[in-house]
Amino acid sequence: MFVLIVGGDHLGNIPRELDKLGVDYIRHVTGRSGQKINGGIPETVDFIIVLYDYVNHNLANKIKKCAFNRRIPVVYAKRSWSSIYRKMKESQTLRYKVGLQLL
């Protein structure tokens, strides 16, 4: 499973916690500039996590539009594992489309 995380300079323990859920590959884009994702979202991305308290608005809009067009589930959360986990648990689309098993 491939996750794109957008926003935040440092992820802390988020990659380790995602690894426990079965995520194989994580790509992180800091979110300081809208130019960071010029090449678009990689084809193999299963879902996207946007850390909304640490992301440039132009980049967030670009990610939102691209994800919508390609039908990639997006989770918007603060940069804390508890917030990310809660939002992932609330996302029916994420659980059914990606098959993510949450405790």
- Residue 26's pLDDT is 94
How crowded is the C-beta side of 33, counted as CA atoms within 13 Å? 4
Tell me, what amino acid is at 65? K
- Is the pTM for the entire model greater than 0.75? yes
pLDDT digits (tens, 9 = 90+) for 47-85: 999 998 878 888 888 888 988 999 899 999 998 999 998
Cβ–Cβ under 8 Å, residues 59 and 34 = yes
- CATH C-level class of 2-98: alpha beta
pLDDT digits (tens, 9 = 90+) for 3-14: 999 988 889 899
Q: Domain residues of the chain, as ranges?
A: 2-98
- Residue 13's pLDDT is 93
- In 41-93, where does DSSP find H-type helix? 57-70, 81-90, 92-93
3-state secondary structure of 51: strand
- Residue 17's pLDDT is 92
Which of residues 44 and 33 earns the better pLDDT score?
44
4 backbone dihedrals φ, ψ, rounded to 5°? -105, 125
